Structure 1
Amino acid sequence: MGVPSIRLRLASKLQRSLPQQPFVCRRCLHQQSQAGTIFRPQQRAPVKQAYLPRALRQTRPQSTASPTQQPSVSPLSALSQNISRTHSRPHPGTSSTSTSTSWPETNSRTVAYWLLASATSVFGIVIFGGLTRLTESGLSITEWRPVTGSFPPRNQEVWEQEFARYKLSPEFKMLNSRMTLEEFKQIYWMEWTHRLWGRVVGVTFLLPTLYFVVRRRVTRGMAGRLGGICGLICFQGFIGWWMVKSGLKDDLLETGKHPRVSQYRLAAHLGTAFVAYLAMVWNGVRILQEHALVRDPGEGLKALQRLGGKELRPFRRSVAALSVLVFVTAMSGALVAGLDAGLVYNDFPWMGQGLLPPKREMFDPFYSHTPSRNDLIWRNMFENPVLAQLDHRILATTTFCAVFGLWGYSRFSPAVRTMLPKAAKTGMLGVVHLVSLQVVLGITTLWFLVPTPLAAAHQAGALALLTGVLVLGSRVWVPRGMVRLLQKRVAAAAAAVGVQSKSAVGRRGADAMLKARIQSS
């Protein structure tokens, strides 16, 4: 018999002499007893191929390795695997009850893109609504028909009926008594397009909201916020008709007033649209940031902790105050538009012979409605075109100075300059550019007696500036819910790495004992 046959018989004898159950060291048994689990031996562990003769290695069938025999991984790899398992979704055909009824920890990225697309549509309808007002088309449709109003007139007879209704309005009697049917069609199409666009915004937001909530693509908190935005959109449609109604009724118009909608209702209509738009932008941006942070929970948590430091607290509060100031300035612009106050004192910075108009013009007793005149100041602020324009100028100048002051603070404060992230610095610079453009548009709109293109661009600049401030705020604000989520994921990943490390130590100990047993045999 040759030497290979002897080696083969010795290897077979050695294999039969090994225990039927896998060897587990005393340390692993002690750890399992402390964890409260009972060790149940698995099937016979295969002999490592490195310890067998070459002939037996070629003929021995390969067994499937158990999960405990996988190679150990580094803590970084374990962290990545844990994150990927957290984000993995079940198959759409699964019937798991917990998956179908529980809310996820994070929102779907698709929801963010849909929110930003909806915000873009709202931005467009706000600008188109400004064009409708500037062309005096808003009072051309004298009835509010939410469903049947979606269809325009289809024949000459229907057009004649619509024109007859418009002839009964104060605007036609006082301003457009010589208007022809063809001229009426031009303003009618403007208002009809504006209303149809509003219906499209409502449908394209409500239906996807129901889908995302039912399919659990959003968190519980985001579901509530989406429901609130749906309510705002519905309320916006009601306010729109409430505003138009103020220009169609003779009893709603003050004696001697130009037939136009109430400046109060116009400001409420525009303000509600602004709030709905800002809510869409804010939530969309936060979802995208949420996905960027959970991609690496450790680094994301460090970034949020850095933002939450006391060095940036004054800057964060200043950004919040600036957003309120920009919003108030925009609403004062709505009052200016509702009163046509841009058509008086078309110079800047002068108003007449000085920086301020005469006191008699600013506080005109004509606008007081009480004998005691205790409403003289506030009624002139909201109903007097002269004082309304002055208020808007003061607020706009204050906003301009506040933006540049905040930019200087971010550049020349050593603590803020060091702790402020690069994205926030870029956002701050963008706000500086937007406010500069807005001031130029506002001044030129006055100088050229409120031309339609410049006036519409000025309104768009106000919404763009508010968007820039909002994006800047999202880059320096620290959401507490996201901090808790990142802390939870970091702790879970660390625990997973610890378990894998202990398992790797146990495997190395068992392999060493098995190797020593083979060598002694």
Structure 2
Amino acid sequence: MASLVAASSLRARLARRLADEAFVCRRCVHQRAAQSTPSTSRVSSLRDTPFLRAFRKPGHYQMRTQSSTASITPASPLGALGANIAARAPPRAPSKTSSWPETSSKGVAYWLLGSAASVFGIVIFGGLTRLTESGLSITEWRPVTGSFPPRNEQIWEEEFARYKLSPEFIMLNSRMNLEEFKQIYWMEWGHRLWGRVVGMTFLLPTVYFIARRRVSPAMARRLVGICALIGFQGFIGWWMVKSGLKDDLLETGQQPRVSQYRLTAHLGTAFVAYLCMLYNGLQILRQHRLLANPAEGAKLIQTLQSSPLRQFRILVTALTALVFVTAMSGALVAGLDAGLIYNDFPWMGQGLLPPKSEMLDPFYSHTSDQGDLIWRNMLENPVLVQLDHRILATTTFSAIIALWAYTRFRPSLKSALPRQARVGMMGVVHLVSLQVVLGISTLWYLVPTPLAAAHQAGALALLSGMFVLRSRISTPKRTVQLVQRAVAAQSSGSMAGKRGPDAMLKARLQSTLPQ
């Protein structure tokens, strides 16, 4: 009976409350709720929801979220687990974004290879300029105005008058007329103009690629270094020409030619610039190829890190250095015209070696005690310079053939060597064989211009083959890191796709909870 009375009284109170609210305007209801409801109680008005107040009061939603998160009491095992993860997880450092890409664009690689081809061409054209004895026809160095050739007969006469003052004209070409002078002038002018074109077509794209962030930071530094090397190459070129225009050549009666040291430095700098362009272009393409299929790339990198391939890589690097030294000894031969003596092979006179008196001539020593007898004869005596080049060339050929046989008959290396590396090794064998044939033919036929130019081109081609082979059996550390990162991203993505969010939560727990 008491329960019935209580229920009836409760229904009466609810009815009176509903009746009051039914006959009261909505504005009064809201004012009454705002006066009677404390700030910490539940919001009863539909127009005063947390969502709407978050937009009306900036920052309120974030503060409410933080306070509500802090006041959550883990009422279930899942809530306790979430609180444990939040407490144990280390604070995340703010991510630092960079506008530099991790990999350089493929367009940069193709541009580098095109620039390398241009440098290859100018090296061959420079050899032709030397072989036709045209290098001393322009006696001034004008980096800007020298880009324009003589435009009328008066300017041609002025250029010819300057050349008449040079030791080469006085001692060798005193009977040369203006038309003959024009032939050698065009050769040297074309060589210098090509050098300017190489510089501009490398400098301007370098600025563009760096400004547009098309290259990685490391590659940007390398491109700037190559630009500096090209500029230094132009300075060395004039420094070399200047050595053949000295007036003291007339007093000593020496052959008016450029210094063989400066010629070697000029050719060596061109080789280095070419190889830098070639190698970096190949590495960019190789990096994109490995990242296109990270799983296969990781397997290849693991294969290249095996013991047999590490030893093979050391041997290839040593042989590359030997090929470069042999090419530089050939520059000494060209600078001294040493190929015009002992035009037979393998004989030098009556035997394999020339007489000792010719190899170590005291004439080339500059000291009274002859302490510089050996090294000056090795670098300045045409007889010994040619012998040194023969020895280096024969050693290079034998070493490359031995390395090829090592890859064929060493089972561990043969099974581990990638197919591209085997093809590159065979290409090097073909190039060195061709180079030997060209070198011997150049001697036998008294250094004709076509054969001599082809022999110089063969040296650079052989060096290119060695660098291509080296790039196929080595991977830079940066590329290895990028491939490992790509493999890790693929593995995490595949795990999330196959096993769902539960697997991701489990992996997160294993990484955050103490072992």
- Following superposition, the deviation at residue 251 of structure 1 comes to 2.9
Distance 2:174 2:223 in 1: 46
- For the Cα contact (< 8 Å) 1:308–1:478, is it kept in 2? no
5+ residue gaps, structure 2: 1-75, 88-94, 505-515
Of 255, 259, 264 in structure 2, the residue corresponding to residue 258 of structure 1 is: 255
- Following superposition, the deviation at residue 191 of structure 1 comes to 0.2
- Following superposition, the deviation at residue 377 of structure 1 comes to 0.3
Of 288, 300, 306 in structure 2, the residue corresponding to residue 309 of structure 1 is: 306
> What per-residue deviation string (whole Å, max 9, x for no partner) do you get for residues 188-237 of structure 1?
00000000000000000001011111111111111111111101100000
Q: 1:42: which partner in 2? A: none
5+ residue gaps, structure 1: 1-25, 38-96, 508-521
Distance 1:198 1:174 in 2: 29
Of 428, 431, 434 in structure 2, the residue corresponding to residue 431 of structure 1 is: 428
Could you tell me which amino acid in structure 1 is paired with residue 426 of structure 2?
Answer: L
Q: 2:486: which partner in 1? A: 489
- Following superposition, the deviation at residue 33 of structure 1 comes to 6.0
- Following superposition, the deviation at residue 321 of structure 1 comes to 0.3
Does residue 156 (structure 1) correspond to residue 139 (structure 2)? The answer is: no
Q: 1:450: which partner in 2? A: 447
Does residue 397 (structure 1) correspond to residue 404 (structure 2)? The answer is: no
Q: Evaluate the alpha carbon distance shift between residue 291 and residue 27 of structure 1 in structure 2; reply closer, same or farther with a 3 A threshold.
A: farther
Of 116, 124, 127 in structure 1, the residue corresponding to residue 124 of structure 2 is: 127
Of 475, 479, 491 in structure 1, the residue corresponding to residue 476 of structure 2 is: 479
- Map 1:11-90 to 2 at 5 A: 36=86
Q: 1:173: which partner in 2? A: 170
Q: 2:196: which partner in 1? A: 199
Does residue 111 (structure 1) correspond to residue 108 (structure 2)? The answer is: yes
Higher relative contact order (CA 8 A, sep 6+): 1
Could you tell me which amino acid in structure 2 is paired with residue 260 of structure 1?
Answer: R
- Following superposition, the deviation at residue 255 of structure 1 comes to 2.1
Of 465, 470, 476 in structure 2, the residue corresponding to residue 468 of structure 1 is: 465
Q: Say what the alpha-carbon RMSD is for the aligned residues.
A: 1.9
Taking structure 2 as the reference length, the TM-score comes to: 0.79
Of 305, 318, 343 in structure 2, the residue corresponding to residue 321 of structure 1 is: 318
Of 332, 337, 340 in structure 1, the residue corresponding to residue 334 of structure 2 is: 337
Q: Evaluate the alpha carbon distance shift between residue 412 and residue 162 of structure 1 in structure 2; reply closer, same or farther with a 3 A threshold.
A: same
Does residue 296 (structure 1) correspond to residue 299 (structure 2)? The answer is: no
- Following superposition, the deviation at residue 116 of structure 1 comes to 0.2
- Following superposition, the deviation at residue 505 of structure 1 comes to 5.7
Q: Evaluate the alpha carbon distance shift between residue 398 and residue 505 of structure 1 in structure 2; reply closer, same or farther with a 3 A threshold.
A: same
Could you tell me which amino acid in structure 1 is paired with residue 492 of structure 2?
Answer: A
Q: Evaluate the alpha carbon distance shift between residue 306 and residue 27 of structure 1 in structure 2; reply closer, same or farther with a 3 A threshold.
A: farther
Q: Evaluate the alpha carbon distance shift between residue 146 and residue 377 of structure 1 in structure 2; reply closer, same or farther with a 3 A threshold.
A: same
Q: Evaluate the alpha carbon distance shift between residue 230 and residue 254 of structure 1 in structure 2; reply closer, same or farther with a 3 A threshold.
A: farther
Distance 1:277 1:257 in 2: 33
Distance 1:27 1:501 in 2: 26
- Following superposition, the deviation at residue 412 of structure 1 comes to 0.3
Does residue 352 (structure 1) correspond to residue 352 (structure 2)? The answer is: no
Give the match's secondary structure for 2:252. Answer: coil
Could you tell me which amino acid in structure 2 is paired with residue 438 of structure 1?
Answer: Q
Distance 1:244 1:481 in 2: 42
Could you tell me which amino acid in structure 1 is paired with residue 418 of structure 2?
Answer: P
Could you tell me which amino acid in structure 1 is paired with residue 244 of structure 2?
Answer: G
- For the Cα contact (< 8 Å) 1:246–1:252, is it kept in 2? no
Q: 1:268: which partner in 2? A: 265
- Following superposition, the deviation at residue 36 of structure 1 comes to 4.1
Q: Evaluate the alpha carbon distance shift between residue 253 and residue 492 of structure 1 in structure 2; reply closer, same or farther with a 3 A threshold.
A: farther
- Following superposition, the deviation at residue 28 of structure 1 comes to 8.3
Moved more, 388-397 or 312-321: 312-321
Distance 1:439 1:178 in 2: 38
Moved more, 297-306 or 419-428: 297-306
Could you tell me which amino acid in structure 2 is paired with residue 410 of structure 1?
Answer: T
- For the Cα contact (< 8 Å) 2:249–2:255, is it kept in 1? no
Q: 2:508: which partner in 1? A: none
Q: 1:147: which partner in 2? A: 144
> What per-residue deviation string (whole Å, max 9, x for no partner) do you get for residues 222-281 of structure 1?
111111110110000000000000001123678232100000000000000000000000
Taking structure 1 as the reference length, the TM-score comes to: 0.78
Q: Evaluate the alpha carbon distance shift between residue 35 and residue 152 of structure 1 in structure 2; reply closer, same or farther with a 3 A threshold.
A: farther
Does residue 287 (structure 1) correspond to residue 284 (structure 2)? The answer is: yes
Give the match's secondary structure for 2:455. Answer: helix
Does residue 365 (structure 1) correspond to residue 373 (structure 2)? The answer is: no
Q: Evaluate the alpha carbon distance shift between residue 29 and residue 498 of structure 1 in structure 2; reply closer, same or farther with a 3 A threshold.
A: farther
- For the Cα contact (< 8 Å) 2:167–2:250, is it kept in 1? no
- Following superposition, the deviation at residue 502 of structure 1 comes to 4.6
Of 414, 428, 435 in structure 2, the residue corresponding to residue 417 of structure 1 is: 414
Of 269, 278, 295 in structure 1, the residue corresponding to residue 275 of structure 2 is: 278
